[in-house]
Amino acid sequence: MRRPRIGLSACFFHADPKRPIFKGKTLLYLEQSLSHWVMAEGALCYLVPAPAAGAPVDHAALAEPLDGLILQGGSDVAPQSYGELPLAPEWSGDAVRDAYEIALVAAFRAQGKPVLGICRGLQLLNVAFGGTLYQDIGTQHPGSLVHRDWDAYDQNFHGLELGGRLAELAGRTRCTVNSVHHQAVRKLGPGLTAEAHSREDGLVEAFRALDGPPLFAVQWHPEFQKAGDPGLLDGRVFLRDFLKSAQEGTQRV
């Protein structure tokens, strides 16, 4: 049986004439923990490049040889991508990456392939489905937890309430996860259903598409957590579910 081939969306370092290497060039990159997390379950990972405008290879062609897509974390989603203006210059986000990832999601779903979103990936998918975001949780959601502590980083934790299929996969309705984000779902997009909320302030922490190919997303970083830690929700429960869907697709080829 062929191993599932999983595409990982790229993070962007846009052209910077002051950067000491690749001066003035755009770089696409992958955070290593994510690929290790996926490959530990037997899948193969491929970084999906952004095609040039008018190039003979488009998003559909990039999706065709792959069995599923994972959207990784990174820069903010641009407020313009959901019809708003930035409330502060530092929350301007990356509209170029947004457009690239939204097109990738559309291509994979058109081909009946599963999609998994991680952190920014959840926010991007919500926007792709017509939802909106809090540009900054602390500013726009008074009384919320500190969801991103720069010093603690991936050692910042909080509780979740689980529901739906995620609760079934996890075998429980309460758990703890890490928290490394300052933006979050404000209005959930049509066609999505929430499956986890932050226990203390009610923010959406996971959702699933109601129809179409499997699509699931989480706000935390399961790839940063130690596998098998009994104090945390083991992300392998939904990673394996995603890879099972991708593997089923390989059997139709």
| CB-CB contact of 206 with 166 (8 Å) | yes
The catalytic residues are 119, 221, 223
Q: What mean pLDDT is predicted for residues 109-121? A: 98
Q: What mean pLDDT is predicted for residues 239-248? A: 96
Q: Encoding tokens for residue 233?
A: 């929700």
pLDDT band at 253; cut points 50, 70, 90: very low
The SS3 assignment for 25 reads coil
Domain count, the chain: 1
Helices 236-250 and 32-39 meet at what angle, rounded to 10? Answer: 70
| pLDDT for position 229 | 84
pLDDT digits (tens, 9 = 90+) for 169-198: 999 999 999 999 999 999 999 999 999 999
CATH number at residue 74: 3.40.50.880
Q: Which domain covers residue 198, as residue numbers?
A: 5-250
Res. 159: pLDDT tops 90: yes
Question: Model-level pTM?
Answer: 0.95
Q: What mean pLDDT is predicted for residues 212-229? A: 93
Q: How far is CA 85 from the centre of its chain?
A: 22
Mean pLDDT estimate for the chain: 95
Q: Establish how many alpha carbons lie within 13 A of residue 38's alpha carbon, considering only the half-sphere containing its beta carbon.
A: 29
